[in-house]
Amino acid sequence: MKASRWRQVDGVLLLDKPAGMTSNAALQKARRLFSAAKAGHTGTLDPMATGLLPICFGEATKFSADLLHADKAYEAELLLGVTTDSGDREGVVTATLPVRCADADIDAVLPRFTGDILQVPPMHSALKRDGVPLYVLARAGQTVAREARPVTIHTLECIARDLPRLTLRVTCGKGVYIRTLAEDLGEALGCGAHLTMLRRIRVGQMELREAQTLPALEAMPETERLAHLSPVDRLISLLPAVTLTREKARRFAHGNPVSHTRSPGRVRVYVESPVSDLLLGLGEIREDGLLWPRRLTSFGESRDAEMLSAGLKFTPARN
């Protein structure tokens, strides 16, 4: 019987997604390069967009949802005076208006879109209506009512002006549509606008400068490629860490709570090891001082050997 090409690979790849490729196509390409049995990404970028796309392999997929809620940063270019049906350069032009705004007008408008605001999701989005993605309805020429949703834009600054083009740097919470921001800014300036470039430069604490391109990864030998994977706990590095003794780790790994003196809240949990502490998973400390398992890792063979030598036995992760 022919051996499977897929293998257990655990870690996080910071990928610089190219333009013209869907996030899923980029994911599948990266998965093949690493021969990873299991893979997922942490938030879709539109085909037009480029930049940071964290890809999770193996054990890291269990923690990918934690990064969906992380703050993100983008650089975006807008073309004032032209609107499209999709809000970006790939759509059909729907209107053209003269651009008469000055620098002072732009500076006055930006604060209106900073902080907690309401934003209407675009029709060209993956949100669903009666189980059908909105972009499918949009491509069929349909428009449905969408309710405005609360989102947060932490900072919004104009970093380049060459009217009718503006380049913005945006840091925001989850659920922000940059194409909608471009349209809303254009409307506020009285001339309309659409998005011509979008590049994601940060997700949580992960920076684009750390990312690799697909051509660069293809050109690497396998050992060098693997060296570019970040550890699984990179995805949850913002959570406080606790380290358990081997006895407590044994109980925790079997799904049982253990006592802990740290303040209540979510934590990443490790077991003490002579080499380096090893990730057990996510836990939650409750008001009664008990640390409960919330998501557990199931380690690969190399880690199993070390764990078993310490007298520990691990169960598969629980969702």
111, amino acid identity: P
Q: In terms of Cα–Cα distance, which of 52, 181, 148 is closest to 41?
A: 52
What are the residue ranges of helices labelled H in 84-240? Answer: 103-109, 134-139, 178-188, 214-219, 222-226
What is the chain's pLDDT, residue by residue, as a tens digit (319 residues)? 344 689 999 999 999 999 999 999 999 999 999 999 999 988 889 999 999 999 999 999 999 888 888 899 999 999 999 999 999 999 999 999 999 999 999 999 999 999 999 999 887 777 777 777 777 777 777 778 888 999 999 999 999 999 999 999 999 999 999 999 999 999 999 999 999 999 999 999 999 999 999 999 999 998 999 999 999 999 998 899 999 998 999 999 989 999 998 999 999 999 887 656 789 999 999 999 999 999 999 843 334 444 444 444 443 333 3
Q: Domain spans of the chain? A: 11-69+205-232, 72-203, 239-309
pTM: 0.87
Q: Which CATH superfamily is domain 72-203 in?
A: Pseudouridine synthase (3.30.2350.10)
Q: Domain 11-69+205-232 is in which class?
A: alpha beta
Q: Domain 239-309 is in which class?
A: mainly beta
Cα separations in angstroms, 32 against 7, 38, 39, 299, 310: 10, 10, 10, 22, 35
Same fold, 11-69+205-232 and 239-309: no
Instruction: Outline where DSSP puts E strands in 22-81.
Output: 39-41, 50-57, 72-80
Q: Is 162 a catalytic residue?
A: no
Cα separations in angstroms, 283 against 11, 59, 108, 212, 295: 20, 16, 45, 32, 7
The catalytically annotated residue of 10, 16, 46, 233 is 46
Q: Cα separation of 121 and 124, whole Å?
A: 8
